[in-house]
Structure 1
Amino acid sequence: MIDIDRIRADTPAAQRLAYLHNAGAALMPASVVSAMKRHIDLESEIGGYAAADRESDRLEAVYGSVARLLNAATDEIALLENATVAWQMAFYALAFREGDRILTAEAEYAANYVAFLQVAKRTGATIVVVPSDASGELDVGALERMVDERVKLIAITWVPTNGGLVNPAAAIGKIARARSIPYLLDACQAVGQMAVDVEAIGCDMLSATGRKFLRGPRGTGFLYVRREILQQLEPPMIDHFAAPWVSRDEYLLRDDARRFETWENNYAARLGLGVAVDYALGIGLGAIEQRCRMLADRLRSGLASVRGVTIRDLGRTPGAIVSFTVKGYEAGAIVSSAAAEGITIGASHPSSTRIDAELRSLPPVVRASPHYYNTEAEVDRLISHLAGLAPR
């Protein structure tokens, strides 16, 4: 049972905002902010190097916290400055050549897809988009039929940025593992709103951010790399932390996932990330997922009865991102009108998930993303606000 009153007391902005923009950047718990401020103060008092030395145990513990979050080993975790860098370090460590195939999903995120395009342009590899099934999820049967000896990577976004779709990550993992194909999972919108078990999923690499449903600070992310594949990957960029300079003409890559890191880091943000992970683990990801889905389902149910609102979510069991359009209103206008009433929501542009948007002829959509610290009353406020808009 989640103690909502305690958690909202830990979230000062929740007292004045109905904050439903957690798919963008969630509100940090007070303990996360305090951890970061304490470290900044310490750096100002004794210097950055000495502060990192003094806090070395806490900094090291962040790896263990992230590993517990993912059901991974500590040596399989790298801490990066954001999820994009984490994803890129994994993707660009793979070698492609002409004729190789990259399989991905219709709702793949723009940052990932442009990387596919760049590698295809450089190497002659091809990008193959796996079709969706009738529910909108990646069609697992189609994926299995498309796999052949030319496929060198399966890379999907688990929970796309533009709606509540939850792709069948574990079913994809079974296919990838059976055919020994590397599997890269973008879990940015999944981590923090649902349980994530890399062993159950069967992914080889997973990237995520701290700032979204995990409620950590901006400028934090992490990468999981399965130990069995790690030694096959050389990062696209290295420094002397990732690969110590062992002799005049030789470097030696680290034997853990920290080969994907660099020496310099934002240690205050890293400590904040660790506190955020521990905070989520303390509540329990199962309980968090259950409450997130309850609130999102309540929002969808309420929106379904509002005249002029069209819900744009896909999937059999959509998660805590609710996307919709309002007849006669642009998405930005809806976001602004809600903000004027103390309700924070966001929008998603078609360019962020271009293939899916073009296939469904989607305009910019409004995106509301409740989290466990939200209340039913806040969800109902948004529904009432939309119901009260003048028809156009």
Structure 2
Amino acid sequence: MSASLSRTAVDALRASTPGAQCITHFNHAGASLASSATLEAIHAHLWREATLGPMEAGVAAREQTERARLLAAQLLNAQPAEIAMTTGNSPGWGAAFAALGPWQPGDRILVGRHEWGGNLAAMQLVAQRAGASIEAIPSDSSGAVDPHALEAMLDDRVRLIALTWLPANGGLINPAAAIGRVARRHGIPYFVDAAQAVGQLPVDVVEVGCDVLSGAGRKALRGPKGTGLLYVRQDFLSRLTPVFVDTRSAPLDLNGEPVLRNDAARFESAEASLALRCGLANALQEALEIGIDNIRARIDGIAQALRMELANIPGVTVLDQGVERSGLVAFNVVGLDAISVQRSLAAKGVSIGSNGVGYTPMDMAFRGLDQIARASVSYLTTELEIGKLLEGIRALAH
């Protein structure tokens, strides 16, 4: 395993994480475990709302919202004006996608084979109504989206290239920056779903070359559920007209006319949980202090070790693709469905995830899979926890 974070540092991080004392957690790709300080930041604002009044407490929370925006910009190598605070990855991605319209018959949307099912649902509704098409970009021999194959598909009808950077059904890491270079050369809008990447990998939106990038607070960032980040490149903002606005995103001028904000906050709502934003600000600060390079190195080392151990268990098939891989390890146990594996491990105090076809329908269909079990690690994960997970899986495989 990686020595990027010392055992002493990991022990200290675990000691300040209540969930680490209660559960052997291998579902960090679903939602990770928040620190005590993040929980305290949320509680402190809820207490302000209870004692000052929610509207009055909101004044005090503005500073934390802007702090979160500044920290997110630092994390993504963006400008603060290019960051919107959202309620999650899908709401942010969906709002930006909806703002792209109108669509025309014959318009084409090109997606990676591993596209998140929620994004596909939004795209399919638009495509069905407008007569547009959604087409999968071929993958290379490793399973990753192929930039050369993408370039060969392009014509003047392509309205959008969309990529899920780290798929939900395996450890593959797609070549987001290489896809971005193709999109930029041809001037085609490029959306990146970075729900699993933000907080786990170094993310540089300039290097990636995306117009829009969405992320979740609850995953690798260890922030609260119900928070997310949306990056919108400043020069691209004028091409997006939100389908929903309010006094936050489009305040009325003196003539009573709505004026869209000239920053990414045109995708924010006046109705938001400020307590959760306080928690997100703390989670962002912690991730930056630990160092994303350190986080990536440790997660990579742990996940590689786990894959090797699982591959050596008779009756277990590791399903991860790609050359570069994430902290999500997908597998199946012969003779058992993924939900049964998940429930059996939960009975032993070990939490993992399980996916059906709906998470990544194109890739699951292409690979002939109807389910996968997934064990996703964090920099908090220890050898002792891996041992407990492997013990449970060995028992099931027998």
Query: What's the secondary structure of 1:235's corresponding residue?
Result: coil
Aligned counterpart in structure 1 of residue 182 of structure 2, from 151, 175, 181: 175
List runs of 5+ in structure 1 lacking aligned partners.
none
**Distance between the aligned counterparts of 1:150 and 1:196, measured in 2?**
30
**Distance between the aligned counterparts of 2:362 and 2:234, measured in 1?**
33
Q: Which residue of 1 aligns with 2:65?
A: 59
Q: Which residue of 2 aligns with 1:37?
A: 43
Q: Which residue of 1 aligns with 2:320?
A: 313
1:268 paired to 2:275: yes
**Distance between the aligned counterparts of 2:364 and 2:64, measured in 1?**
43
Q: Which residue of 1 aligns with 2:153?
A: 146
Aligned counterpart in structure 2 of residue 225 of structure 1, from 224, 229, 232: 232
- Residue type matched to 1:15 in 2? Q
Query: What's the secondary structure of 2:253's corresponding residue?
Result: strand
Contact 1:298 1:379 in 2 (8 A): no
Aligned counterpart in structure 2 of residue 197 of structure 1, from 185, 204, 217: 204
- Residue type matched to 2:126 in 1? V
1:20-169 correspondence runs (5 A): 20-95=26-101, 96-169=103-176
Query: What's the secondary structure of 1:262's corresponding residue?
Result: coil
1:355 paired to 2:362: yes
Q: For 1:110-167, what per-residue CA distance to the aligned partner results, in whole angstroms no more than 9, with x for missing partners?
A: 1010111111112121111111111000011100111111111101100011111111
**Distance between the aligned counterparts of 2:62 and 2:100, measured in 1?**
32
Contact 1:325 1:366 in 2 (8 A): yes
Structure 1 residue ranges, 4+ long, deviating more than 6 angstroms after superposition: none
**Distance between the aligned counterparts of 2:44 and 2:247, measured in 1?**
29
Query: What's the secondary structure of 1:324's corresponding residue?
Result: strand
- Residue type matched to 1:361 in 2? G
Contact 2:42 2:279 in 1 (8 A): yes
Q: By how many angstroms is 1:247 displaced?
A: 4.3
Contact 1:299 1:380 in 2 (8 A): no
**Distance between the aligned counterparts of 2:188 and 2:74, measured in 1?**
25
Pair 13,240 (structure 1): closer, same or farther in 2 beyond 3 Å:
closer
Query: What's the secondary structure of 1:268's corresponding residue?
Result: helix
**Distance between the aligned counterparts of 1:234 and 1:256, measured in 2?**
12
Q: By how many angstroms is 1:59 displaced?
A: 2.3
TM-score of the aligned structures, taking structure 1 as reference length: 0.97
Q: How many residues align?
A: 391
Q: By how many angstroms is 1:17 displaced?
A: 2.0
**Distance between the aligned counterparts of 1:59 and 1:361, measured in 2?**
44
Contact 1:77 1:224 in 2 (8 A): yes
Query: What's the secondary structure of 1:64's corresponding residue?
Result: helix
Contact 2:170 2:320 in 1 (8 A): yes
- Residue type matched to 2:77 in 1? N
**Distance between the aligned counterparts of 1:360 and 1:58, measured in 2?**
45
Q: Which residue of 2 aligns with 1:337?
A: 344
Contact 2:19 2:34 in 1 (8 A): no
**Distance between the aligned counterparts of 1:201 and 1:295, measured in 2?**
26
Aligned counterpart in structure 2 of residue 15 of structure 1, from 14, 17, 21: 21
Q: By how many angstroms is 1:249 displaced?
A: 5.6
**Distance between the aligned counterparts of 1:319 and 1:60, measured in 2?**
30
Contact 1:242 1:258 in 2 (8 A): yes
Aligned counterpart in structure 1 of residue 386 of structure 2, from 361, 379, 389: 379
**Distance between the aligned counterparts of 2:273 and 2:63, measured in 1?**
16
Q: By how many angstroms is 1:220 displaced?
A: 0.6
Contact 2:173 2:325 in 1 (8 A): yes
**Distance between the aligned counterparts of 1:267 and 1:8, measured in 2?**
26
Q: By how many angstroms is 1:324 displaced?
A: 0.3
**Distance between the aligned counterparts of 2:22 and 2:276, measured in 1?**
25
Percent identity over paired residues: 43
TM-score of the aligned structures, taking structure 2 as reference length: 0.96
Q: By how many angstroms is 1:342 displaced?
A: 1.7
Q: For 1:153-209, what per-residue CA distance to the aligned partner results, in whole angstroms no more than 9, with x for missing partners?
A: 101100011111111000001011111111000000111111111011111100111
Q: By how many angstroms is 1:248 displaced?
A: 4.4
Q: For 1:227-274, what per-residue CA distance to the aligned partner results, in whole angstroms no more than 9, with x for missing partners?
A: 110112111211121111114462211111101111111000011111
Aligned counterpart in structure 2 of residue 246 of structure 1, from 233, 245, 253: 253
Contact 2:105 2:132 in 1 (8 A): yes
- Residue type matched to 1:81 in 2? T
Query: What's the secondary structure of 1:347's corresponding residue?
Result: strand
List runs of 5+ in structure 2 lacking aligned partners.
none
Tell me the C-alpha RMSD between the 2 structures: 1.1
- Residue type matched to 1:88 in 2? G
